[in-house]
Amino acid sequence: MRILITHFRAAAARFAISRSVIVPMLIGPIIGAMLAAASVAAQDATNVVTIDNFTFTPPELTVAVGTTVKWVNHDDIPHVVVNKDKAFRSKALDTDDSFSYTFASAGTCDYFCALHPHMVGKVIVK
Ligand SMILES: [Cu+2]
């Protein structure tokens, strides 16, 4: 009987050790993924142009070469984001639709809405 109890205690101790090792192994990558997602979201927030009430906000955005800019339409009517030099043209963006474009070289990008040409904006790539 004494031997059985000793074996049981040893098994319990092994279980405790394995759990203390396995739980951090499982939680580590989850926390890592959460941190990675948070940093991507933070980066995105600075490179988003929103469309509200027929206005691009911010009207002028300065980014580094290689940056992806995302336009998000918050209006309840469609808009189309078009580069003046025809480098890009979005599809018609319905409410909450978005369009992304990566700026591969430096320069000034003037854009407007194809449906409402008085809507204009600018991305300066440095
Ligand atoms: Cu528009």
Q: How far is the CA of 59 from the centre of ligand 1 (A)?
A: 14
Question: pLDDT tens digits for 71-108?
Answer: 999 999 999 999 999 999 999 999 999 999 999 999 99
Summarize the confidence of residues 45-58 as an average pLDDT.
Answer: 94
Residues with Cβ within 8 Å of 109's Cβ and at least 6 positions away in sequence, in order, are 83, 84, 85, 87, 103, 122, 123, 124, 125
Summarize the confidence of residues 32-55 as an average pLDDT.
Answer: 68
Positive or negative, the CA dihedral 6, 11, 14, 19 is negative
DSSP 21-48: HHHHHHHHHHHHHHHHHHHHHHHHHTTE
Distances (CA, A) of 32 to 23, 42, 44, 103: 14, 15, 18, 29
- Please name the amino acid found at residue 15: F
The pLDDT of residue 115 is above 50: yes
Q: Closest Cα to residue 101, out of 39, 47, 57? A: 47
Confidence of residue 46 (pLDDT cuts 50, 70, 90): confident
Q: How far is the CA of 118 from the centre of ligand 1 (A)?
A: 8
The pLDDT of residue 121 is above 70: yes
The pLDDT of residue 36 is above 70: no
Confidence of residue 32 (pLDDT cuts 50, 70, 90): very low
Share of residues in the chain with pLDDT > 90 (%):
63
Q: What is the DSSP letter of 97?
A: -
Peptide bond into 117 cis (omega under 30): no
Are the C-beta atoms of residues 73 and 55 closer than 8 Å to each other?
no
Q: How far is the CA of 48 from the centre of ligand 1 (A)?
A: 17
Q: How far is the CA of 2 from the centre of ligand 1 (A)?
A: 82
